[in-house]
Amino acid sequence: MVPLGAEALTNGRSGALHGPGSWWRGKSTPAKIETYTRWSYHFFGVAELLTIGVPVIGQAGPGLGSWLLLMVCVHAGVCAVTASRALDWTLGRREQPVRLLWTLGALSTVISVTALVLVKYLPVRGEAATATGTVFGIVLIFGVGSITLGIRSRRRVFAVVAGFAAGAGAVSLPLGTPWGDALIGTFAVLFGGGFLAFTSVFSVWLLNAVYELDAARETRARLAVAEERLRFGRDLHDVMGRNLAVIALKSELAVQLARRGRAEAVEQMIEVQRIAQQSQREVRDVVRGYREIDLGVELAGAHGVLTAAGIECEVTGEVTGLPGEVQSALGWVVREATTNVLRHGDAGRCVVGLRVKEGTVVLTVENDGVTDGGAGSGGSGNGSGNGGTGDRGSDSSGSGRGASQGRSAADDGAGGLRAGGGSSGPAGLGAAGGGSGLAGLRERLTAVDGTLAAGPVGGGMFRLVAEVPFTAADCEVAS
């Protein structure tokens, strides 16, 4: 597999930023569902106009038809505003639009009654009477559908639907509507309004469920990071706890020996100095993550972490017989790419592939859910991957133990992916300097003559490719 060059990365990123539909692709899944719901209810206003507003002019004539069209336009506009504000209230962005709901209810009643009055007191017959009656029913049905968006209680939803249906019959009869027509109108409002009310309640429930699931996913990622920090704390305690205890003991012994004028005090302090220097080196190894990583464990850990986060993950290939330094370098690539997919973008599927090609071990990590601004820039043989932070996710079930050996914000100096630096965005690999982010991975791969490239490849996909030369005869690939 040929690494992505700078030209391919630049072109892919420009297409993601400025291509058709970039506005839609830049939204998260919950935001897409919200946009779809909003415009569906705005389309209800258009449907109301097309259903009764425009045909009524041809049926009722220019004079009466124009007045009916004007009333329908006003009603459709108020319905659209009510739907928008009711959805904002549902998502907790504003207070419940109680006054607007009452206004819409009163407006629907006034328009429907006005339509019946026109039929009774004006010489309206034939198609004109039919058009006016249609305005009466459709206005009530769309009014019920928009009002129920702003009501949370099911009992109140039922009350609104039943109330409008009963009111339709109660108003029709005194204004001279025949019993049969009044009954038909009542049932039309009951079933039509009930259907739109059910649609409104279901749409609100679905929208809230999507946002709650998205919040749960973020919480799960934060919990994985918190667990990783705890593991890092335990590792640090294992390294420092015993050494500090020995340093304290030997220092106390040296003090007692010095007070007695014993020459052994110098030897004890020399030993304290040696242990302190050893502890410094061990802490540096923990913080920088220079402990050797097992590539097989990292691949298993990546699968566990992504699966636990609700992302479909497929791992193909497992190269055996690799030297420790090659496994460590590629293991870090797997770890950092997994962190990026977990905490950034809107990935639903990730594929991790490992294979040998022409004496080179090739590691490929590809995921969907790339958003605008998520591609960092890449150069020849080196690129930028999906962004991450210094925090690392881990598999809370234990399958990601190997992927979490090095870990929290403290070891960013060894290669944590950050959102800062370069041109990376929410899903871009930060090119922070000083051994962090892309620079850290580049250093690790350079040490084994490897290269790194990453960038969008179209269709909302992002691909990271790491290649390390390898010529040992005992290198095998297990599928």
φ, ψ at 401 (rounded to 5°): -60, -40
Can you say whether the dihedral through the CA atoms of 264, 265, 271, 273 is positive or negative?
negative
Phi/psi-derived region of residue 243, left when phi > 0, alpha when psi is between -120 and 50, beta in every other case = alpha
Which residues have a Cβ under 8 Å from the Cβ of 10 and sit 6 or more positions away? 377
pTM over 0.75: no
Q: What is the pLDDT of residue 437?
A: 56
Q: How far apart are the first and last CA of the chain?
A: 18
29-48 and 179-259 are packed helices; what angle lies between their axes, rounded to 10 degrees?
160
Helix H or strand E segment including 476 = strand 476-478
Question: Can you say whether the dihedral through the CA atoms of 27, 299, 428, 288 is positive or negative?
Answer: positive
In what helix (H) or strand (E) does residue 309 lie, and over which residues does it extend? none
- Residue 383 is predicted with a pLDDT of 36
What is the model's pLDDT at position 17?
45
Query: For residue 453, what are its two tokens?
Result: 């490239």
pLDDT score of 430: 38
Contacts of 291 (CB under 8 A, 6+ apart): 285, 405, 406
The Cα–Cα gap between 416 and 388 comes to 8
Query: What is the three-class DSSP state of 365?
Result: strand
Instruction: Kindly report the CATH class assigned to 6-12+292-478.
Output: alpha beta
List alpha helices for 319-390, DSSP H. Answer: 324-343
Instruction: Collapse the DSSP code of 42 into the 3-class scheme (helix H, G, I; strand E, B; otherwise coil) and give the result.
Output: helix
Report angle CA 361, 455, 368 to the nearest 5 degrees. 95
For the domain 226-288, what is the CATH code?
A: 1.20.5
Structure tokens at 301: 């850990």
Which of 31, 49, 26, 47 is closest to 87 using CA atoms? 31
CATH 3.30.565.10 in the chain, residue ranges: 6-12+292-478
Residues of the chain with CATH 1.20.5: 226-288
Cα–Cα distance for residue pair 427/371, rounded to 1 Å:
7
Contacts made by residues 266-273, CB under 8 angstroms, sequence distance 24+: 272/247
Q: Six-digit token pair at 377?
A: 């820039």
**pLDDT, block means (10 residues), the chain with 479 residues:** 39 46 76 87 81 66 74 88 90 90 91 78 61 78 89 89 88 77 84 89 89 86 81 78 83 90 88 87 72 77 78 82 80 84 78 85 88 43 36 36 35 34 36 47 82 84 88 50
Asked whether 90 and 200 are in contact (CB, 8 A), the reply is no
